[in-house]
Structures are given as structure tokens and as C-alpha cells.
Amino acid sequence: MATDVYVSATLRMFAGHEPLLQAEGASVGEVLKSVAGEHEDIRRILFTDEGVLRDFVRVFVNDTEIRGLHGTETPVAPGDTVYLIPAVAGGAPAKNTPLIPAERSGAVEFTDRDLERYSGHFLLKEAGVKGQKRIRAARVLIAGLGPLGVETATVLASAGIGTLGLWDHRKTELPDLKNLIAFTERDLKRPRTAVIKDRIRNICRETAVSVFDYEVTSDNVQETVTGYDLVIDCTDNFKSRYLVNDACFFAGVPYVFASLYQTEGRVTVFKNDRSTQTPCLRCLFPAPPERNLVPTCSQTGIFSGVPSIIGGYAACEALKLITGAGRTLDGKLLSVDALNLTSHIFHVDRNCSCALCGETPTVRSVQAVDYDDFCNLREPDNTPPVESITVEELLRRIENHEPLTLVDVREPHERAVHRFRQAIPIPIGQLARRKGELNPAVDTIFLCKEGKRSILAINTLREASYTGPMYNLKGGLDAAKDMVFSNEAGWL
Ligand SMILES: [Zn+2]
């Protein structure tokens, strides 16, 4: 009898865009081999060349990760579901002890106006006056002010949080207006931190705001997180996530992890309380994916509304940690698929051999780790650089009728925005399999939205032993937008 295999949104492009597959097999290993056999593109994502399951993919049978069972030998029975959950960006819960001790919250005094304003919380036994005082006394740092961070900051300010740290180095750009709730045309080119600081001032004058307008690095992360009661990680890259995780662990600061990919989001809580043996990010995902193996959310888009769902969960977890209300996601990973209206909670165990929190740790401080190297951000010395050509050069060659092949590696739906009519559409997940459609005797130029996936495309074909000359369209179609009207011959 076939087993259901749930494919996370991050991996769906390599499996026919289906969230739920059916595969035969009596064990997890057999089921995964069956999936890889049916969907050739996903094989290289799931497995190394040696056939070993990659570290950045976690496999669960129902709600239990296979590392806590029998690994790939774990048997599967009719009715079981195997879940494939990669890194993209919490056992039986104990009673949730409030992060903010009574000594601190007891010093908070409310005005009559406060009593009216927060009356909705006072009605809830999960918050009450004591909980609201804890919220007012709390200091929370939000790392990353993308769609998730903006949503989370807004909810926490509305709830009357005492101190908010806002950490992001970016300015507001036009595409941000789609994703950053309540950002306006007037906010363009302003630092995101300044925009949100202004907004928080209008929401709650009692919330003190600190702004950190610099990138997350190993030189600043430890100092920045120290002094906060809680950190919420809404960053959008693996280097920042592992830096925040490691710094919070060393500082003993709990943190909420929230991530997005297209229509899917994940939330978990890492308490960093060494007495409770709870896991850290490195227990869940010991390593990020290899360089350019899977696209990021900025390269693939985010469905409106999903950041509000996931940001809402992240803010709610923060408020529960602060007040001690309910049960939190420590030791659990919540995965929400808004497109298919499904959600799952997976158990996450502490890994005794974790490089950070395990019994023989190898990560001793954030200064001692080369995060660029760990996150595969450096070009390997033995990889020849990818050659690029500019849009102008491409248009000149098209107008001169020079022999070349143009390959558009975006997904089919993305080509509705704009495209080169000469380009052969081959989604990146199919490239290795369809390399026979290319002509190694002429130059092949790869294009995508930003010129990043096309580099991945070239490296994918190199690994697949394609030997023809390959070039990346520098800056992708984004760089060509201004030439739509002057070179319409090249466009749809
Ligand atoms: Zn760990």
C-alpha cells in the first residue's frame, strides 16, 4: 500500500509542484528512493552523490523525526505520512514559566488610560493585569524587518510591549510595498527601522524603541542580543539565522524562529535554557543547504497574507513566553501551508551531538566560527567563475542574429510578467534532465529574475557534465526592465 509523502513548498518545484505524493516502500529509505525514482529532479536535492540524505532536510514519520526512530530504516505502515521538511530560513511541553519575573513586572504602574486600553487583555486569564505588566516590562529584539518582522513588531507594539529593538540595515524599495503591511509610497528609500519606529510611536507611545541599522555579523551579534529578554528571528538568510541562534545560545536568551517560503511558514521556539535540555536551531538543522541548492524566498516570492499568519504566530509565541500563558513551541516545529490549508506540529529533540549545545560542542563562540564558510557563501576555490554578459550585450547579439541559445530558468508562471520571446523555457529543477535540448556548439545564455538562479543553473549543468559555453545574464530580467520600450524586438 502506498504511503503519503508530504513535500514542503521549498521542494515542490523538484517534485511536480505537488504537496502530497504517493510512494511505495516498507521503510522511510524505500519510500524516499521511490520518490527519487519518480521525480528525478528531487534526487540531487535530497541525496548527496554518495546517496546520503542531506543534512538540511529533516524527515518525519507523522510527528516524529526519523533520527529519534530508526533513521531511514524506520518502518512505515498504511496510514502513515512521511514529511520532507528542509531548512529555509518545538516534547511534552512543561508548564510555561514567565520570562519576566514578578520583581520586574511588579514595578510597572498603569494609568487609567492603560487600564482602558488593555482591558481586552485583562479579561483573559492568560494575560490579566499581571500578564500585561509583564508585557510592559519586556524587552524584545526583532532581527530582520521583512514581512514577518514588520507584522511581529506591529502586533507587539499594539499589545503594549515595553521595549522593542528593531534590527535591519535595508531601505524600503518598491517591491516591499506589496509585502510590508501598511508601508506607503512615502516610505520609499527610508530605512525600514525608521519607518517602523515612526509607526510604533503612533501605535503606543509607551513602547521604547531602539534601532540597529547594521547587518548581522559575528562582530556585532553577541553585543546586540545581550540585554534582551527575547529575540524574534525574522531574518531572510542562513548566515543571520545561525548567527542569531548561536549568539542567543551563548547569552542564554530565548528566541522565536519564524520563516517563510511562498505560501508556507514555520515557527518554533528555542529556549536556550541549559537546564531544560531543549533543542537549538543546530539540533534541528545542523547545516544550511549547500550553496544555491534551493532558491530563497526573495527569489521566489511570498503570497500576501502568509506573513501576517506566521508573524501573528511568532508574536503570539513571544507574548506567551513573556506572560507564561499556555504552551509554547519549544521542542516543536509548527509548519503551516496556507495554500493547502494544512498545518502540522513536529516534535524536535535535542541532538546530543549538536555542534553548539551537544555534549562535546565544537562551536565555542560566534567569533570562532567562519559563518561565510559554514553557510557556503564563498565561491569554492576549484569552481571556475560563472561568466556573465550584460543585457546590452545580449540585445546587440540578438539584433546581429548571432547564433546563441537563450534559456529562461524561471517557473512557467513567472514568465507571464515579461520574457524574451527567443528564450527556451526550462525550469531550473528540470535542467539536468533536459540538458540534451541545449546545443554545446553555441553560446547558451541563462536568464532568471535577478541573475542568481541562472548562476545556479550553470553550476547545475556543470555538475551534470554539460560542456558547452554558458553565460549568465547579469542582473537577470530585473536589469532589463528599463529596456522594454527601446528594444521591444527582444520582448514579448
Ligand atoms: Zn543544538
Q: Find residue 58's DSSP bridge partners.
A: 85
Q: What's the rounded Cα separation, in Å, for the pair 316 and 448?
A: 37
Q: What is the pLDDT of residue 492?
A: 42
Please provide residue 385's backbone torsions phi and psi, each rounded to the nearest 5 degrees.
Answer: -65, 150
In the reported structure, the alpha carbon of residue 212 is separated from the centroid of ligand 1 by a whole-number distance in angstroms of 27
Q: How high is the pLDDT of residue 87? A: 74
Instruction: Please name the fold of domain 3-86.
Output: Ubiquitin-like (UB roll) (3.10.20)
Contact status, residue 57 vs residue 84, Cβ threshold 8 Å: yes
The pLDDT of residue 485 is: 44
Question: Can you give the pLDDT of all 492 residues of the chain as single tens digits?
Answer: 788 888 887 787 788 777 788 888 899 888 888 888 888 788 877 888 787 888 778 889 888 888 888 888 899 988 888 888 877 642 334 467 899 988 899 899 999 999 889 988 888 878 888 999 999 999 999 999 999 999 999 999 999 999 999 999 999 999 888 888 889 999 999 999 999 999 999 999 999 999 999 999 999 999 999 999 999 999 988 999 999 999 999 999 999 999 998 899 999 999 998 777 789 999 999 888 876 666 555 556 788 999 999 999 999 999 999 999 999 999 999 999 999 999 999 989 889 899 999 989 999 999 999 998 888 777 666 667 889 999 889 888 888 889 999 999 988 878 777 777 788 899 888 888 898 999 999 999 999 888 888 888 898 888 888 989 999 999 888 887 766 544 444 444
Q: What residues does CATH 3.10.20.30 cover in the chain?
A: 3-86
Q: What is the pLDDT of residue 88?
A: 64
Every domain of the chain with CATH number 3.40.250.10 lies at 388-490
* Neighbouring C-alpha atoms within 13 Å toward the C-beta of 168: 29
| Gap from CA of 286 to ligand 1 centroid (Å) | 8
Catalytic residue numbers? 297
* C-beta atoms surrounding 189 within 10 Å: 9
Ligand 1: centre distance to CA 396 (Å): 53
Q: Does domain 138-374 have CATH number 3.40.50.720?
A: yes
Question: Which run of H or of E encompasses 389?
Answer: strand 388-389
Rg for the chain, CA atoms, rounded = 24
C-alpha cell at position 41: 529532479
Q: For residue 236, how far is its CA from the centre of ligand 1 (angstroms)? A: 21
Distances (CA, A) of 203 to 151, 157, 208, 419: 13, 7, 12, 43
- At residue 234, the 3 state secondary structure works out as coil
How many CB atoms lie under 10 A from the CB of residue 466? 17
- What's the pLDDT score for residue 300? 64
Rounded Cα distance between 370 and 375, Å, is: 9
Cα of 358 from ligand 1 centre, angstroms: 6
Determine the distance separating the centroid of ligand 1 and the alpha carbon of 262, expressed in angstroms. 27
In total, the chain counts a number of residues equal to 492
At the fourth CATH level, which superfamily is domain 388-490?
A: Rhodanese-like domain (3.40.250.10)
Residue range(s) in the chain whose domain bears CATH number 3.40.50.720: 138-374
Question: What is the separation of C-alpha 221 from the centre of its chain, rounded to a whole number of angstroms?
Answer: 19
Give the pLDDT of residue 292.
61
Distance CA 122, CA 246 (A): 36
Alpha carbon of 249 to ligand 1 centroid (Å): 9
What are the grid coordinates assigned to 407, written together?
A: 534559456
Contact 65, 347 (CB under 8 A): yes
